Chains A and B, each alone.
Chain A
C-alpha cells in the first residue's frame, strides 16, 4: 500500500490529453513539492517533472505538472505512442524524521 495514491491505469489515443492524479496528505504533498518520474518498459525511471511543475532540460513541454492542496496531477497533451510507460509521483514526507514516499504508479496505455 503506497503512501501516495495513483490510479493503476490510464489510457488515451494519439493526440489526446490525459491526466494522472496523485493524492497524498498534509505531511507530504500538502507541505512539500511533488516530482513525477517516467519509466519506459525495461528501463530505469527518468525525472519528468520536479518542484510540482518544472521540466528538466530535454523534457517536452507536452508534459506539465500541477499541485493543489494535498493532490497533484501530471498532464500529457498531444499524446504519442512513445509516452506509453509507467508514471510515478513522489514527495518528501515530514513524518518519521522525514523520508521519500512514492505513488504506486500508473500504467499509461496509448490506444
Chain B
C-alpha cells in the first residue's frame, strides 16, 4: 500500500524559507505514470494546490506561488521536497504531499489519489 509521510520543521520565522520533505513508501517515486505534489490548507480554510513534480524533475507550480516555490525530487531516497521562500503568517497551514494522477501529454492534473497525513507549519517569530 502506497504511503506518503511529510517531515520538516513545524515553526518557521517570517521572511525565512519553509522546507518540507515527503517520503514515499510502498511504491517507487520513479513511476512513469504519476507526478508528486504539494497541497496546503490554512487552519479552518480550504485547500490550495502548490505544485507538482515528475521523477525526471519537470515541475508545475501554482501561478500565485510560483515566484516563491521550488519543488525537487531525490529518486535515490524516494523523496520529494518543497521550499517556500519569504514566508509570512499567511503561509501558516497544514502542508500535504500527494501522488498526482496526470495526463502525461499535457501535465494536466486529473486527481490527487494518495495523500500524506499532513504537517502543520506555523510562521511566527
Q: How far is the CA of A87 from the CA of B96 in the complex (A)?
A: 17
In the assembled complex, A62 has its CB within 8 A of some CB on chain B? no
B contact residues around A43 at 8 Å (CB): 117
Partner of A102, one of B49, B111, B113, B115: B49
Q: Which of B95-125 contact A (CB under 8 A)?
A: 96, 101, 106-113, 115-118
B110 near A2 (CB under 8 angstroms)?
no
Partner of B47, one of A50, A98, A102: A102
Sort chain A's interface into a size bin: 20 to 34
In the complex, which of the residues A46, A47, A97, A103 has the most CB atoms of chain B within 10 Å of its own CB atom? A47
Q: Of the 9-residue stretches A14-22, A67-75, A77-85, A88-96, which lies at the interface with chain B?
A: A88-96
A99 near B62 (CB under 8 angstroms)?
yes
B111 near A88 (CB under 8 angstroms)?
no
Q: How many residues of B contact A (CB 8 A)?
A: 22
Q: How far is the CA of A47 from the CA of B117 in the complex (A)?
A: 14
In the assembled complex, A104 has its CB within 8 A of some CB on chain B? yes
A99 near B49 (CB under 8 angstroms)?
yes
Q: How far is the CA of A47 from the CA of B115 in the complex (A)?
A: 9
A contact residues around B39 at 8 Å (CB): 45
Partner of A105, one of B46, B60, B106, B113: B46
Interface positions of B (Cβ within 8 A of A): 39, 46-49, 60, 62-63, 96, 101, 106-113, 115-118
Interface positions of A (Cβ within 8 A of B): 2, 32-33, 35, 37, 43-47, 50-51, 56, 88, 90, 92, 96-105
Sort A-B residue pairs by CB-CB distance and give the 7 closest, nearest first. Answer: A100-B49, A44-B115, A50-B111, A96-B63, A102-B47, A35-B111, A105-B46
